[in-house]
Structure 1
Amino acid sequence: MTDYRAVNRANWDERAPVHAASPDYRVADFIRDPAHLSDVVTFDLPLLGDIRGMRGLHLQCHIGTDTVSLARLGATMTGLDFSAASIAEARKLAERSGTPVDFVESDVYGAADVLKAGSFDLVFTGIGAIGWLPDIRQWARVVATLLRPGGRLFIREGHPVLWALQDDREDGLLVLDFDYFEHEAPLVWDEDGTYVETDHSFEHTTTHSWNHGMGEIVTALLEAGMTVTGLVEHDSVPWEALPGAMTKLPGGEWQLTDRPRRLPHTYTLQAVRTAV
């Protein structure tokens, strides 16, 4: 069986420096302006609330723009990612922007082996992360293990309905073409680009991914000893998920142009580890 970690890691190792160099990630703004926050974290602020003084962990942090943003909001942040190249770029960003963050290289499922159990007040997971993981129940157990009793999970993610849509239709129809529910076999993609503008010619173009239904995510957290405290579905997403069918909104979000209320674009889910 192909090792999905090795396949995906090779892809993300190649993407990381390309993303750091792209204006889409606005690395220069982080370095120039000590108050600059990523668009994703800016969107999250109304639900995220005051995180000053919290010990925070950002799972699947990539090059660290959201992690640095959370640190700038007053949390003591750790970022974790399985890509050595991503962690290298994240450390450079933190150093050059003057924002103290601790970055750790590890697969999500091994996070409890390299970080102290029960040591975080907040676990944050951002857009486009959990789809690279095959088992949502194992993810939920890791989250619960790392949080202190009463600690909080905050995740904003692409909605599983959005991930299941065919994204290249010219007729404007919304067609469910891919798995909505988690399935053992991955969706295998071979794409020669990435989601930022670049002239880079990629060598590692294959990725393996999985969708996870909303019920599966919520159930996994409940089984892991978490209490769900909030679930909000949004009618926008921070990238042009359906090219040619979306309109860019102020603040960097995108929305379906035609009757956007038909489609849950993203969701924010919050849960608390049950005190024991």
Structure 2
Amino acid sequence: MTDDDRGRLARAGYLDVPDATGGRAGRSWWDANAADYLAEHGDFLGDVDFCWCPEGLREVDAQLLGATGDVARRRVLEVGAGAAQCSRWLRHQSPGGAGEIVATDVSAGMLASAAAIDRRTGRATPAVQADARHLPFADASFDVAFTAFGALPFLPDADRVHREVARVLRPGGRWVFSVTHPIRWAFPDDPGTGGLTANRSYFDRRPYVELDDAGRVLYAEYHRTLGDHVAEVASAGFMIDRVVEPAWPDGHDQVWGGWGPVRGALLPGTAIFVTHLVGAP
């Protein structure tokens, strides 16, 4: 959050707001906060690295998209890419491969940060500004799609993202996405002992919202239960292959928002859904 946002923030909590208003807030928030976010988390994420979550699970170890060399030879789409660290890493795993990696994000601020990292590292990554609900690609044009905490948490209609991804994937294509573990929404967003006692209903689906003194939505993040996630991906035509709940690793002491070693030792913080589009591979 920028100093300007802090000055304008007048109210925060779990609030009902119009879907259209909440869904628009993400673009302006990430435009305003891209630099601050990367200043805080950039070292952990790396410029050319693929990290799925604050627990530190890396794709080089997990290979949730498939064997790295094979994926790098396919056509891959990153949705809600932020500064495109994951795409940049994946694209350069097999420089001579025949595949193509494309990063998308709705935020011009994040894409500007991605371009700056490209210049700094000398590793250019194709990037397109796009709303995840309206992907500017042809039907059945990708083999793999993924997002690491991108787009889905900030939209009231994430089901539209799943349908768009299904549209641009070829039959059998893989869709992998990480989100805040749904159980976390029943607990305070506190990485320490204060975050270990549930204080609200898991079934309360009101988004977490921040408002300015004029009642305008500055930020909105949406809760879905585990069943909601399953229903949304299934209705879009995906089959769930597995759900990964990364454990907090020994020796990892970095706090990231509500994630940290105290709460991470007892409660899951991230859920990663590994799915494929139903159809002949």
TM-score band (shorter)?
A: 0.7 to 0.9
Q: Give the root-mean-square deviation of aligned CA atoms.
A: 3.1
| Residue type at the aligned position of 2:109 | A
Tell me the residue number matched to 1:93.
117
Corresponding residue SS for 1:207: strand
Asked if 2 retains the 8 angstrom alpha-carbon contact of 1:76 and 1:101, the reply is: no
TM-score using structure 2 length: 0.74
Tell me the residue number matched to 2:182.
160
For the pair 1:240 / 2:252, whether they are aligned, the reply is no
Tell me the residue number matched to 1:55.
75
Deviates more, 1:45-54 or 1:231-240: 231-240
Corresponding residue SS for 1:26: helix
Mapped to 1, the partners of 2:44 and 2:258 lie a distance apart of 25
Tell me the residue number matched to 1:104.
128
Corresponding residue SS for 1:234: coil
Tell me the residue number matched to 1:216.
228
TM-score using structure 1 length: 0.75
Shift of 1:144: 0.8
Render the CA deviation track for 1:173-207: whole Å, top value 9, x for unaligned. Answer: 62334564574x5321259xxxxxxxxxxxx9920
Tell me the residue number matched to 1:198.
none
State the aligned residue count: 243
Mapped to 2, the partners of 1:206 and 1:165 lie a distance apart of 23
Do the aligned partners of residues 4 and 148 (structure 1) sit closer, same or farther apart at CA in structure 2, a change above 3 Å counting? Answer: same
| Residue type at the aligned position of 1:44 | E
Tell me the residue number matched to 1:33.
none
Which one of 68, 78, 82 corresponds to residue 102 of structure 2? Answer: 78
| Residue type at the aligned position of 1:61 | A
Q: Which runs of 5+ in 1 are unaligned?
A: 31-35, 192-203, 248-254
For the pair 1:267 / 2:271, whether they are aligned, the reply is yes
Higher RCO structure (Cα 8 Å, ≥6 apart): 2
Corresponding residue SS for 2:256: coil
Which one of 102, 124, 128 corresponds to residue 146 of structure 2? Answer: 124
Asked if 2 retains the 8 angstrom alpha-carbon contact of 1:235 and 1:264, the reply is: yes
Shift of 1:135: 1.9
Q: Which runs of 5+ in 2 are unaligned?
A: 1-17
Corresponding residue SS for 2:78: strand
Mapped to 2, the partners of 1:72 and 1:239 lie a distance apart of 29
Asked if 2 retains the 8 angstrom alpha-carbon contact of 1:13 and 1:86, the reply is: yes
| Residue type at the aligned position of 2:241 | T
Mapped to 2, the partners of 1:83 and 1:107 lie a distance apart of 9
| Runs of 4+ displaced beyond 6 Å | none
Shift of 1:168: 3.9
Mapped to 2, the partners of 1:25 and 1:81 lie a distance apart of 17
Tell me the residue number matched to 2:209.
188
Asked if 1 retains the 8 angstrom alpha-carbon contact of 2:193 and 2:263, the reply is: no
Render the CA deviation track for 1:74-100: whole Å, top value 9, x for unaligned. Answer: 352111111111112212322432323
Tell me the residue number matched to 1:69.
89
Mapped to 1, the partners of 2:257 and 2:41 lie a distance apart of 15
Do the aligned partners of residues 101 and 180 (structure 1) sit closer, same or farther apart at CA in structure 2, a change above 3 Å counting? Answer: farther
